[in-house]
Amino acid sequence: MKVMKINFEDKQSISNTWVRWYLSSQIVWIGKEKNYNEIEKLQNTSFGSFKWLWSDADTVLFHRDNLEFIGAVIKINEPIIVNQEKINISLIEEKNGNIKLSENRNFNCKLSDFTEYFVEDDAILCYSEKWNRIQPSIEIKISPDFSFVIQNDELMGIVIYKASGHLLPDGIHIVEENTHNQPDLRIKLCRFFELIEIMDNDLTQMEESELKNSLLEIYEEVSCYDEPSYKALRDTIFNVLDYM
């Protein structure tokens, strides 16, 4: 399988409202399309990694005529590691615009072998195991809050800034322009991710009971808010408790 090579397009055409993070399924969705059926309709008009839609690889689509990026469905790998430091990417430069496919064909693509949540910055960083974080990279901001990380003309990862504002429950397909989340939402997300990571351990009955109580505490703390981000967190906690 040939490596997907990427070029830069200097015009920005992706709306911030199209950047969606579904916490329950841990999928990042970029673009106008609302579901997989709509994505499937793009098969005859796009190149990219469409053929791997139902596998572990991510879906990253480019317009068949001009090879410009038009949308993506990216599965976030878990566990999400909580990072208390500020986000740091060794950059050659930062650009505003879009990405273009350098060759009109399909490729395999996986951008999220690892995922970190930077609490202070409220940012999600997903990146491939191929990414050398010590070597310089290029960050291409295709919307104010969403970037692709490029290294050696290859896609290496994504960044979502103001990530909690792009958090949505299932069934909502557009992000509100002016999301008014409380500053402590990122702290609650941090606690949630840390608790989810504990679930991978062999827990005693008492430890599992304490874990459930801690999840219930977060659930109750966010129950009074109507914003979509809080609903997404509530729904996800409910699903986790139901699973346990």
Decide if 83 contacts 117 (C-beta within 8 A): yes
- Condensed to tens digits (0 to 9), the pLDDT of residues 137-188 reads 999 999 999 999 999 999 999 999 999 999 999 989 999 876 677 778 999 9
pLDDT of residue 153: 93
Rounded CA gap, 185 and 151, in Å?
A: 32
Alpha carbon distance 137, 118 (integer Å): 19
Q: pTM for this structure? A: 0.93
User: Taking all residues of the chain, what is their mean pLDDT, rounded to a whole number?
Assistant: 89
Residue 146 has phi, psi (to 5 degrees) of -130, 135
Query: 100 CB contacts (<8 Å, ≥6 apart)?
Result: 6, 7, 8, 9, 62, 66, 67, 68, 69
pLDDT < 50: residue spans in the chain: none
β-strands 123-127, 137-143 pairing: unpaired
